[in-house]
Amino acid sequence: MTNALEISNLSFSYPDGRQALNRVNLKIDKGERVALLGPNGAGKTTLVMHLNGILLSDDGEVKVAGINVEKNSLFEVRKRVGLVFQDPDDQLFMTTVRDDVAFGPANIGMTGIELEERVNFALDQVKMREFADRPPHHLSFGQRRRVAVATVLAMKPDILVLDEPSSNLDPASRRELAEILLNLDVTIFMVTHDLPYALEICPRAAILNDGKIVADSFTRELLGDEELMKSNRLELPFGMHLDHIPHHR
């Protein structure tokens, strides 16, 4: 079976010489939900930017659904990698929710009934179909984030990459998004500082620190390792006990 994502010996340095990634290896199977954890400056955003070719490195390899991420494959890769940015306003720019969700599929030639069905499918996935004719800027922040997810799901990607999906959400919006993500039939790779959210959504997690993957295991196991957590500047919220949180469904 082809991996949804396969990163092999990926290294990357910025023009100023700072090494952001150092021989990163990571494989994610189709259907897995994996969180990427780590302190600020660990290289998480740099890694994500390699998944759809925003950054390209000559040192190492990234494959999405078996396709090498390289200059001549970017069109195909970007159909398969759905990247949801931290700020939904970076993704929503059309006059209605429907137009925003239709933008990607229309851009690759989808029209008519096929396009309408694809838009409705994506909006149903995030429970936002009733808002299809609303201007995005009239929605709450949590609703805009769900629409941003729909714009990506409309492309039917092989892997959904989420950058800090729970940030700036109120508790109800946070829970609603979690329920949506848990019910999606898609591979999920989630970059987050929100450790309870990682535990709730992703059975597996990897810790990236100083450009290296320093741990990769069950999320609950990593979060329960006090020494590992401390050495990678990760802390559970005050009063949070893993024993009180149910295991993944």
Q: Residue 248: pLDDT above 60? A: no
Packing angle, helices 112-125 and 141-153, rounded to 10: 130
> Does 229 fall in a domain?
yes
* Helices marked H in 184-224: 195-201, 219-223
Q: When comparing pLDDT for 246 and 190, which is higher?
A: 190
What is the per-residue pLDDT across 17-29, written as a single tens digit (0 to 9) for each? Answer: 889 999 999 999 9
> Does 44 fall in a domain?
yes
> Does 203 fall in a domain?
yes
Structure tokens at 150: 């729909």
Question: What total number of domains does the chain contain?
Answer: 1
pLDDT at residue number 181:
96
Write out the residue range of the structural domain in which residue 67 sits: 5-235
> Does 164 fall in a domain?
yes
Is the whole-model pTM more than 0.85?
yes
Beta carbons of 85 and 149 less than 8 angstroms apart: no
What is the per-residue pLDDT across 64-91, written as a single tens digit (0 to 9) for each? Answer: 999 999 999 999 999 899 999 999 998 9
> Does 244 fall in a domain?
no
Q: Could you tell me the CATH number of the domain that includes residue 209?
A: 3.40.50.300
pLDDT at residue number 246:
57
> Does 247 fall in a domain?
no
> Does 245 fall in a domain?
no
Mean pLDDT throughout 102-131? 95
160, 198, 158: which is closest to 178 by C-alpha? 198
> Does 246 fall in a domain?
no
